Amino acid sequence: MNTFQELGLNQDLLQAITDMGFETPSDVQAQAIPILLDQDTDLVALAQTGTGKTAAFGFPMLQKIQIDSRTTQGLILSPTRELCLQITNELKQYGKYCKGLNVVAIYGGASITEQARDVKKGAQIIVATPGRMKDMISRRLVDISKIEYAVLDEADEMLNMGFYEDITDILSHTPEEKNTWLFSATMPKEVATIAKKFMSNPVEITVGHKNVGSDQVSHEYYLVNARDRYSALKRLADANPDIFSVIFCRTKRDTQKVAEKLIEDGYSAGALHGDLSQNQRDLVMKSFRNKQIQMLVATDVAARGIDVDDITHVINYQLPDEIETYTHRSGRTGRAGKTGVSMVIVSKSEVRKIKSIERIIKKNFEKKDIPDGMEICEVQLMSLANKIHNTEINHEIDKYLDSINQLFEDTSKDELIKKFFSVEFTRFFNYYQKSQNLNISGDVSGDRPGDSGDNTRYFINVGRKDGYDWMKLKDFLKDVLELGRDDVFKVDVKESFSFFTTESKLQEKVLAFFTDFKHDGRFVNVEVSEDKGRGTSRGKRRRDGGSKRRRDDKPRGERRSGSRSGDSGDRRSRRSSEGAPKPRRSENRTSTSSSRPRRSRR
């Protein structure tokens, strides 16, 4: 690794660097500083928070500006007042031996006249939030017409906060020939658009996030008996109808086996490992990219370099030997500004490893329960209902309507809905009605509140598409209900709805609050979920554990599902290796994909 001397920084800056105790440049600094010092170029740099981006643009800017001039030459836009002040302070420290340097912070909530006065004294560098900057420009309190370097710091965050127009407006007051340097932790479409619009041939650098996991990824683990791994995997898939995932296995053999079983059970899955020919691998990857494959089962080696952006879940079917491998795996999701979930299925003997991973990735895992059968049925049902609700009508069916109407002449709307949904629901219901609880006890982080108490599980009609992940939803619920940190738990966010649990004594309060609650202009609806089984997480206290469910203590393979339901016998599918109907991937996003016709195989 280079030293700061080797990057080409001048003596004043090097002295300050020594004073601050920086010994070696960080990756983004080592990459960006020489480029920015040597070339007059635009730059796009992607690096996680805390990687030293301020110095990466700060040092070159300080070295390149004329300090003996009083003209404003550098403008740094940053999303918040805090960041603005932080950057200003850092720059002042970096430039403490640069005599005559004036860095001024401009942000809302403080006296605009005072800030204007500071600028007037001759600020070579202005660090500003977009809102206040725009304000000052329109009042002619600043002149940025001679800017040579513009920095968009935390560009993704600024755009998230709705500053697109302000940024555009501000930059329109700067000269064409300036250099623009954009720094961002992620590269969502909006950032790419900005880069395209305001920059010409930018040099691009990306800094991998070492061992520290992305902020966009939440980590969960599920503790099951080793022999239930596969059943657990299926439930996780069924509980997430829109899943688009990579499933990691340790060996080629397991990879192949799991993929084959999934395919046999009716999922759109594929295997990716080194025993396949290049051609086969290309085909699998192509289907995955097209979303014809929802679940890609892969070895670590084969999955290296999978650059598919919208993977929703990474599932660790088995934990890797090396913890660093876990970081690579989980980094397959939560890309391009999206959130993702990394799930780990662990058996008791591996659960210690979770703690070591937590230490290294500096993130906590949430221990979650494998959803029980009725919850999955509910998820599937609601997901179907949402899908139907959002479906565009295909008027090709108009010509058949007469005969269909005739057939249902005597059927009420209510009855029709029930019948319609039963088509899907019964398949899952038959499969899962006698399913057993796969969770076993044992925890690395101690018992959660409510695990021993009487709990209520709720359904809420907001989900991932409303911008929630489990952390955000938990925060939201905590805030509006004015509850404590641990009062809301087992928050499980799906695409368009979610579940959460509180102790039952809070039920009245929760339901009362949400009877007439609007958020962002829409009614937020909360209902008690029928799925009582999730109220407790430990097998010994199953409230739904009546005699009806006992039967599945039998060895798997002997389980007979659906055998009692006469009305849908024709619909029952072939038995899988587990002796159960295959849940069809009813929520596949590509309705034309290869998983669709599979129904006819039965």
Q: Which residue number, 151 or 199, has a Cβ lying nearer to Mg ion? A: 151
List Cα–Cα distances, 157 to 91, 160, 408, in angstroms.
Answer: 21, 5, 53
Q: Which residue number, 154 or 466, has a Cβ lying nearer to ligand ADP? A: 154
Q: Which residue number, 54 or 73, has a Cβ lying nearer to ligand ADP? A: 54
Q: Which residue number, 157 or 242, has a Cβ lying nearer to Mg ion? A: 157
Which residue in the set 26, 43, 45, 53 belongs to the binding site for Mg ion (CB under 5 A)? 53
- Map the footprint of Mg ion across residues 29-48, applying CB under 5 A: none
Residue 324 CB: number of other CB atoms within 10 A?
Answer: 14
The total number of residues shown for the chain amounts to 602
- Map the footprint of Mg ion across residues 118-137, applying CB under 5 A: none
Q: Which residue number, 25 or 583, has a Cβ lying nearer to ligand ADP? A: 25
Q: Which of 29, 35, 32 is nearest to 51 (CA)?
A: 29
Q: Which stretch binds Mg ion (CB under 5 A): 49-57, 248-256, 491-499, 585-593?
A: 49-57
Q: CB within 8 A of 77, min separation 6: which ones?
A: 128, 129, 130, 133, 150, 151, 152, 153, 158, 163, 167, 170
List Cα–Cα distances, 504 to 346, 454, 484, in angstroms.
Answer: 30, 6, 15
Q: Of these partners, Mg ion, ligand ADP, none, which one is at the site of residue 55 (CB under 5 to 8 Å by kind)?
A: ligand ADP
Contact residues for ligand ADP (CB under 6 A)? 22, 25-26, 29, 47, 49-55
Nearest approach, Cβ of residue 23 and ligand ADP (Å): 6
Tokens of 460: 């809420």
Nearest approach, Cβ of residue 47 and Mg ion (Å): 9
Q: Of these partners, Mg ion, ligand ADP, none, which one is at the site of residue 78 (CB under 5 to 8 Å by kind)?
A: none
Q: Which residue number, 53 or 209, has a Cβ lying nearer to Mg ion? A: 53
Q: CB within 8 A of 458, min separation 6: which ones?
A: 499, 500, 501, 502, 510, 526, 527, 528, 529
Nearest approach, Cβ of residue 159 and Mg ion (Å): 15
Residue nearest to Mg ion (CB): 53
Give phi and psi for 252, each to the nearest 5: -60, -40
Q: Of these partners, Mg ion, ligand ADP, none, which one is at the site of residue 513 (CB under 5 to 8 Å by kind)?
A: none
Q: Which residue number, 50 or 539, has a Cβ lying nearer to Mg ion? A: 50
Nearest approach, Cβ of residue 90 and Mg ion (Å): 9
Going by their DSSP bridges, the two strands 522-524 and 517-519 should be labelled as antiparallel
Q: Of these partners, ligand ADP, Mg ion, none, which one is at the site of residue 115 (CB under 5 to 8 Å by kind)?
A: none
Nearest approach, Cβ of residue 116 and ligand ADP (Å): 27
Cα gap 283→263, rounded to integer Å: 16
Residue-wise DSSP of 116-145 = HHHHHTT-SEEEE-HHHHHHHHHTT----T
Q: CB within 8 A of 94, min separation 6: which ones?
A: 13, 16, 17, 20, 55, 58, 59, 62
Q: Which of 470, 494, 64 is nearest to 242 (CA)?
A: 494
Q: Of these partners, ligand ADP, Mg ion, none, which one is at the site of residue 103 (CB under 5 to 8 Å by kind)?
A: none
Q: What single letter denotes the amino acid at residue 60? A: P
Cα gap 417→361, rounded to integer Å: 48
Q: Which residue number, 58 or 450, has a Cβ lying nearer to ligand ADP? A: 58
Nearest approach, Cβ of residue 150 and ligand ADP (Å): 17
Q: Of these partners, ligand ADP, Mg ion, none, which one is at the site of residue 51 (CB under 5 to 8 Å by kind)?
A: ligand ADP
Q: Which stretch binds Mg ion (CB under 5 A): 51-59, 196-204, 299-307, 502-510?
A: 51-59
Q: Furthest-apart CA pair in the chain: how many Å?
A: 90
Q: Of these partners, Mg ion, ligand ADP, none, which one is at the site of residue 52 (CB under 5 to 8 Å by kind)?
A: ligand ADP
524 near 517, Cβ under 8 Å? Answer: yes
Q: Which residue number, 16 or 319, has a Cβ lying nearer to ligand ADP? A: 16
For 580-589, letters b (16+ CB in 10 Å) and e give bbbbbbbbbe
Q: Which residue number, 25 or 131, has a Cβ lying nearer to ligand ADP? A: 25
Is residue 61 within the footprint of Mg ion (CB under 5 A)?
Answer: no
Q: Of these partners, ligand ADP, Mg ion, none, which one is at the site of residue 371 (CB under 5 to 8 Å by kind)?
A: none
Cα gap 145→124, rounded to integer Å: 13
Nearest approach, Cβ of residue 3 and ligand ADP (Å): 10
155 near 182, Cβ under 8 Å? Answer: yes
Nearest approach, Cβ of residue 58 and Mg ion (Å): 10
Residue 461 CB: number of other CB atoms within 10 A?
Answer: 17
Nearest approach, Cβ of residue 27 and Mg ion (Å): 14
Q: Which residue number, 22 or 513, has a Cβ lying nearer to ligand ADP? A: 22
Tokens of 585: 């991937």
Nearest approach, Cβ of residue 30 and ligand ADP (Å): 9
Q: Of these partners, ligand ADP, Mg ion, none, which one is at the site of residue 22 (CB under 5 to 8 Å by kind)?
A: ligand ADP
Cα gap 371→439, rounded to integer Å: 9
Nearest approach, Cβ of residue 31 and ligand ADP (Å): 12
Q: Of these partners, Mg ion, ligand ADP, none, which one is at the site of residue 333 (CB under 5 to 8 Å by kind)?
A: none
Q: Of these partners, ligand ADP, Mg ion, none, which one is at the site of residue 97 (CB under 5 to 8 Å by kind)?
A: none
Nearest approach, Cβ of residue 151 and ligand ADP (Å): 11
Q: Of these partners, ligand ADP, Mg ion, none, which one is at the site of residue 340 (CB under 5 to 8 Å by kind)?
A: none
Cα gap 442→193, rounded to integer Å: 48
**Residue carrying the six token digits 């940024």:** 167
Nearest approach, Cβ of residue 48 and ligand ADP (Å): 7
462 near 498, Cβ under 8 Å? Answer: yes
Q: Of these partners, ligand ADP, Mg ion, none, which one is at the site of residue 191 (CB under 5 to 8 Å by kind)?
A: none
Q: Give the interface with Mg ion as residue ranges (CB under 5 A).
A: 53
